[in-house]
Structure 1
Amino acid sequence: MHQSPVESPERAPAPSVAARAAAVLAVCSVLLLVLVAMRWHPLIGVDGDISRTTHHWAVHETGLTHTFRILTDWVWDPLTMRLVIAAAVVWLVWRRSAWWTALWLAAAVTVGALLQQGLKAAVDRPRPVWRDPVDSAHYASFPSGHAMTATIVCGLLLWLLHRYGPGRALWRTALAVALVSVLGVGLTRVWLGVHWSSDVLGGWLLGATVVALTVAVHRRLQP
Structure 2
Amino acid sequence: MPRIATEKQKCLSRVAYDRIKVMILQKELMPGQFINESQLQETLELGRTPVREAVLALAQDRLVTIHPRKGIEVTRPTPKDIHDIFEIRGIMEPAILRQCCGMVDPQWAVDMRALLQGHADDTASNAGETAAPLIDLDNRFHLELVDVFHNQYASNLMRSLVDFLNLIRVTAWSADRYQTSNREHIDILDAILEKDVDRACRLMEEHIQLSYQEAIHTMMHASF
TM-score by length of 2: 0.29
Question: Greater strand share, 1 or 2?
Answer: 2
TM-score by length of 1: 0.29
Flag the structure with larger Rg: 1
